Structure 1
Amino acid sequence: MLAAYNTALIGIADGTVDDVADRIVEPGFDRRSDGFLVLAGDGLPVGYGTAFGRGDRQVVGIQVWSQKPTVADWLFEQTLQRAREMGRERGHAEITVDSDVYRADESLRALLADHDFTASTTYQRMRIDHTGPVATPEEPADVVVRRGAFDDATRWTAHEIIIDSFRGQLGFVARPHEEWIEYLEATASFDWSQITLLEIDGRAVAIRICNNEFVETENCGSIGMLAVLDEFRGRGLAKFLLREAFARDAADGRAGTILNVDTDNSAPALGLYLSVGMNPTLVSDGWCRILPVN
Structure 2
Amino acid sequence: MTTAVLPAEYTVRPPVPADSGAIFALVSAYNTAVIGTADCTLADITNGIIDPGFESRTDGWLVLDRDDVPVGYGTACGKGNREVAEIEVLSQDAMVAGWLFDRSLRRAAEMGREAGHADVTVDSYVYGADTSLRALLSEHEFSTGTTFNRMRIDHTEPVATPDVPAGYVVHRGADDDRTRRIAHDVIIECFSGQFGFVARPHEEWLEARAAYANFSWSQFTLLELDGKAVAFRDCSDRDVEIENCGHIDGLGVIESARGRGLATYLLRDAFALDAAAGRAGTILHVDTNNPTPALHLYLSVGMRPTLVIEGWRRTMPATR
Question: Structure 2 length as normaliser, TM-score?
Answer: 0.91
Aligned counterpart, 1:45: 70
Alignment identity in percent? 62
Count residues in correspondence. Answer: 294
Q: How far apart, in 2, do the equivalents of 1:135 and 1:50 lie?
A: 43
Q: How far apart, in 1, do the equivalents of 2:66 and 2:290 lie?
A: 45
Q: How far apart, in 1, do the equivalents of 2:234 and 2:197 lie?
A: 17
Deviations 1:168-218 (A, max 9, x none): 112211111111111111111101101100011111100001000000011
Aligned counterpart, 1:75: 100
Q: How far apart, in 2, do the equivalents of 1:156 and 1:261 lie?
A: 25
2:198 is equivalent to residue 176 of structure 1: no
Q: How far apart, in 1, do the equivalents of 2:35 and 2:195 lie?
A: 25
2:91 is equivalent to residue 60 of structure 1: no
Instruction: Return the letter of the residue paired with 1:159.
Output: H
How far has the Cα of 1:167 moved from its partner?
1.1
Instruction: Return the letter of the residue paired with 2:42.
Output: V
Q: How does 1:215-226 map to 2 (within 5 A)?
A: 215-226=240-251
Deviations 1:14-63 (A, max 9, x none): 00111000111112100111111111112211100000000100000000
2:78 is equivalent to residue 20 of structure 1: no
Q: Tell me, what secondary structure is at the counterpart of 1:33?
A: helix
Q: How far apart, in 1, do the equivalents of 2:196 and 2:35 lie?
A: 24
Question: Structure 1 length as normaliser, TM-score?
Answer: 0.99
Q: How does 1:1-294 map to 2 (within 5 A)?
A: 1-294=26-319
Q: How far apart, in 1, do the equivalents of 2:290 and 2:142 lie?
A: 19
Deviations 1:210-245 (A, max 9, x none): 000000011000000001011111111101110010
Instruction: Return the letter of the residue paired with 1:86.
Output: M
Q: How far apart, in 2, do the equivalents of 1:179 and 1:166 lie?
A: 18
Instruction: Return the letter of the residue paired with 1:293.
Output: A
Instruction: Return the letter of the residue paired with 1:122.
Output: T
Q: How far apart, in 1, do the equivalents of 2:226 and 2:239 lie?
A: 35
Q: Which moved more, 1:240-249 or 1:168-177?
A: 168-177
Gaps of 5+ in 1: none
How far has the Cα of 1:128 moved from its partner?
0.2
Q: Tell me, what secondary structure is at the counterpart of 1:208?
A: strand
Q: Tell me, what secondary structure is at the counterpart of 1:253?
A: coil
Q: How far apart, in 2, do the equivalents of 1:220 and 1:110 lie?
A: 32
Q: Tell me, what secondary structure is at the counterpart of 2:221?
A: strand
Instruction: Return the letter of the residue paired with 1:79.
Output: S
How far has the Cα of 1:127 moved from its partner?
0.2
How far has the Cα of 1:11 moved from its partner?
0.7
Instruction: Return the letter of the residue paired with 1:257.
Output: T
Q: Tell me, what secondary structure is at the counterpart of 1:162?
A: helix
Q: Tell me, what secondary structure is at the counterpart of 1:32?
A: helix
Q: After TM superposition, which residue ranges in structure 1, 4 or more long, deviate above 2 angstroms?
A: none
Q: How far apart, in 1, do the equivalents of 2:64 and 2:35 lie?
A: 24
Q: Tell me, what secondary structure is at the counterpart of 2:193?
A: coil
